[in-house]
């Protein structure tokens, strides 16, 4: 005998012993394994009982043994309420069982199974209700459905009786545990009235529905429509569905449902645009949608001679849902105009002038995809130039008579609305920049301005539209600009280098054109003494520049008086005109009246403020003491 044969014999002996003396219950098993049990169980009132009932289970053993301990487990939990009847019987109490299917197992002190039993609870059927029937125009079947009511947890049989109006039965159909049935249409006359009665029955009872009136011509539903085309208008999040149907009733109304990525369906209220067209709004860009449609007949429900009868016709007869059609919504095109500005150079000898068109990039949330290019147009709509997508400015040459341009950003999914680039001058004086104050860190400055009523255009058709403020360094390079709302009177200019000098210009754009600039020269926060010395040199430069202007004013003033005065008084006139021009406010206004006419037909031009006062005012405003420049 080999080793393998000995091992095989041992395994067979062990399996036989285990099966005979220690049977195993499979996991989740609710029925005791049929084997050599040592007793039996009795259930009162019965193993099949009305849900919620109290049960009594008797566990009987074949061997009488008062010392043997017998216990019961219900659904894996020990039963605490029990009573010893005799040496072979123990009674267990199972109050109020609401579980549809339970397993009770009785065992002895050696943990061997005495026996087990399945306990099944159920309920009587409710009355079938809400019975409706329908059939399509081209269908050979009638589909009827009903509501079953509460769950019975037991097999329930439904008898569907089709009767004539006088109560005689024509046909009986049976179906188990269902809430719908299909009946051949051929057994009905289209114009005859029938009664349908549904009876439900199971182990605990029977219930019957109310009679329901059925007339085939009243339950015909429309055929399902077909979605022919789905369109998304340009830059829109609304879908327009075009559909067709062989139905022609004026009472038909379309209904739409949709979903994305196989999610749950969502009903949407559409807007009917016309015959066989419906629009669905409030969709999302760049999203794939799945659409379905149905049409419903909203014609009034017909009345019957028997007012107490219930009709099997639905209140709203709707078709089946159409086959699905998928469509991806387009990307979002830009809705905002570009913010634009321009720099115009002087006209050349050839009559052309160079114009640099500047713009700010569109906000990224305003469009989908990417910018492809920028298109510049003449005021007659003719394209003038195409600029690359990475550009923020573009130069063109134009004749002097061109007064405006327009520019649009071309993106993957559309163009931005054209933004006007105004080239013409309005002839209106610019707003007056009146104040500036550097920020603490020196990287920004706060400026304000005034726009008086006298600056406004004279006619009501011309009004202020917006402001544009510019910042450049003293050499005219490093242009920065910003468009400002017309109701603003101040703003902050950032990105300044401490101790640097900048030229700030403000333009008022009206419906007539662009005003002349109002400009100031300003410094950001001064640095150490080096910056102070540099600023002093700038003050000296300003003083001497203004000095030469006053020399010219003195010469013009003296020549204007000289020809009207006798020779002996000319030296006195030199003194007076010098003091009026360079030192203080004028001591005299010069000759007036018919005996001393002005050389140019009016009063001689005398500066409103002397050179000395200008220097004093400049030094006081800049905080520099007079002795610093002596």
Range among 134-148, 344-358, 416-430 with highest mean pLDDT value: 134-148
Residue 132 confidence (pLDDT) above 60: yes
Question: What does the alpha-carbon distance between residue 626 and residue 630 come to, in Å, rounded to a whole number?
Answer: 7
pLDDT at 218: 87
Task: Provide the b/e sequence for 491-520 (b: ≥16 CB within 10 Å).
Answer: bebeebeebbebbbbbbbbbebbbbebbeb
Query: Which CATH class, in words, describes the domain spanning 129-218?
Result: mainly beta
The mean pLDDT of 291-299, rounded to a whole number, is 88
For the domain made up of 339-422, give the CATH fold: Immunoglobulin-like (2.60.40)
Q: Does the predicted TM-score (pTM) go above 0.85?
A: no
pLDDT at 55: 94
Asked if the domains 25-121 and 129-218 are classified in one and the same CATH topology, the answer is yes
pLDDT interval class at 165 (50, 70, 90): confident
Worst-scoring range by mean pLDDT, 64-73, 253-262, 454-463? 454-463
Structure-model confidence comparison of residues 620 and 56, the more confident one: 56
Question: What does the alpha-carbon distance between residue 469 and residue 463 come to, in Å, rounded to a whole number?
Answer: 18
Range among 216-230, 432-446, 496-510 with highest mean pLDDT value: 216-230
The chain-wide mean pLDDT, for the chain, equals: 78
On whether the 432-525 domain is CATH 2.60.40.10, my answer is yes
Residue 527 confidence (pLDDT) above 80: no
In CATH, the number for domain 25-121 is 2.60.40.10
Would you say how long the chain is, in residues?
630
Question: What does the alpha-carbon distance between residue 540 and residue 600 come to, in Å, rounded to a whole number?
Answer: 34
pLDDT at 586: 38
On whether the 222-328 domain is CATH 2.60.40.10, my answer is yes
pLDDT at 522: 78
Range among 47-61, 223-237, 287-301, 343-357 with highest mean pLDDT value: 47-61
pLDDT interval class at 611 (50, 70, 90): very low
| Concatenated DSSP letters of 477-532 | -S-EEEEEETT--EEEEE-PPTT-EEEEEEEEEESS-BPPPEEEEEE-S--SHHHH
pLDDT one-digit tens code per residue, 203-214: 999 999 999 999
Structure-model confidence comparison of residues 67 and 394, the more confident one: 394
Residues 30 and 118: beta-carbon distance below 8 Å: yes
> Over pLDDT 90: what percentage of the chain?
40
Q: Would you list the domain boundaries of the chain? A: 25-121, 129-218, 222-328, 339-422, 432-525, 530-629
pLDDT interval class at 136 (50, 70, 90): confident
């Amino acid at each position: 005998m080999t080793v393998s044969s000995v091992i095989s014999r041992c395994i067979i002996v062990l399996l036989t012993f285990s099966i005979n003396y220690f049977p195993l219950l499979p996991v989740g098993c609710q029925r005791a394994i049929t084997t050599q049990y040592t007793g039996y169980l009795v259930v009162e009132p019965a193993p099949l009982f009305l849900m919620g009932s109290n049960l009594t289970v008797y566990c009987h053993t074949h061997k009488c043994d008062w010392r043997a301990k017998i216990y019961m487990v219900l659904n894996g939990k020990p039963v605490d309420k029990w009573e010893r009847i005799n040496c072979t019987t123990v009674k267990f109490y199972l109050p109020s069982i609401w579980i549809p299917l339970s397993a009770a197992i009785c065992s002895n002190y050696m943990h061997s199974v005495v026996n087990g039993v399945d306990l099944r609870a159920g309920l009587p059927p409710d009355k079938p209700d809400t019975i409706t029937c329908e059939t399509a125009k081209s269908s050979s079947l009638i589909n009827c459905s009903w509501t079953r009511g509460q769950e019975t947890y037991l097999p329930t049989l439904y008898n569907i009786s089709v009767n004539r109006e006088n109560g005689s039965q024509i046909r009986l159909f049976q179906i188990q545990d269902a809430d719908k049935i299909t009946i051949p249409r051929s057994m009905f006359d289209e114009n005859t009235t029938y009664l349908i009665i549904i009876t439900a029955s199971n182990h605990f009872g029977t219930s019957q529905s109310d009679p329901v009136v059925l007339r085939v011509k009243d339950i015909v539903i429309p055929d399902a429509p077909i979605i022919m085309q789905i369109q998304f208008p340009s830059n829109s999040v609304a879908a327009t569905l075009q559909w067709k149907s062989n139905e022609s009733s004026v009472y038909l109304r379309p209904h739409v449902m949709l979903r994305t990525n196989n999610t749950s369906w969502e009903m949407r209220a559409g807007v009917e645009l016309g015959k066989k067209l419906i629009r669905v709004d409030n969709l999302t860009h760049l999203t794939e949608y799945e659409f379905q449609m149905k049409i419903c007949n909203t014609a009034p429900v017909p009345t019957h001679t028997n007012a107490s009868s219930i009709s099997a016709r639905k209140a709203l007869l709707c078709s089946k849902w159409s086959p699905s059609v998928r469509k991806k919504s387009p990307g979002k095109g830009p809705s905002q105009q570009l913010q634009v500005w321009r720099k115009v150079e002087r006209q050349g000898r050839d009559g052309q002038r160079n114009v640099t068109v500047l713009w700010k990039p569109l906000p990224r949330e305003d469009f989908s995809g990417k910018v492809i290019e920028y298109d510049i147009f003449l005021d007659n709509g003719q394209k003038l130039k195409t600029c690359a997508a990475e550009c923020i400015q573009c130069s063109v040459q134009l004749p002097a008579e061109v007064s405006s341009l327009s520019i649009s950003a071309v993106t993957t999914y559309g163009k931005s609305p054209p933004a006007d680039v105004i080239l013409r001058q309005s002839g209106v004086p610019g707003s007056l920049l009146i104040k500036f104050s550097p920020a603490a860190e020196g990287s920004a400055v706060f400026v304000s301005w005034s726009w008086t009523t006298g600056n406004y255009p004279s006619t009501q058709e011309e009004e202020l539209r917006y402001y544009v403020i510019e910042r450049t360094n003293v050499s005219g390079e490093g242009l920065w600009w910003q468009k400002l709302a017309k109701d603003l009177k101040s703003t902050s200019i950032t990105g300044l280098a401490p101790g640097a000098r900048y030229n700030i210009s403000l333009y008022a754009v009206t419906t007539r054109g662009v005003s002349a600039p109002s400009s100031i020269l300003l410094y950001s926060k001064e640095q150490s003494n080096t910056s102070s010395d540099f600023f002093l040199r700038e003050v000296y430069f300003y003083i001497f520049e203004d000095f030469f202007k006053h020399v010219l004013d003195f010469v013009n003033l003296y020549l204007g008086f000289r020809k009207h005065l006798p020779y002996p008084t000319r030296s006195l006139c030199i003194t007076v005109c010098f003091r009026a021009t360079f030192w203080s406010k004028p001591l005299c206004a010069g000759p007036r009246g018919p005996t001393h006419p002005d050389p140019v037909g009016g009063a001689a031009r005398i500066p409103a403020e002397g050179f000395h006062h200008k220097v004093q005012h400049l030094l006081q405003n800049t905080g520099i003491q007079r002795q610093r420049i002596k």
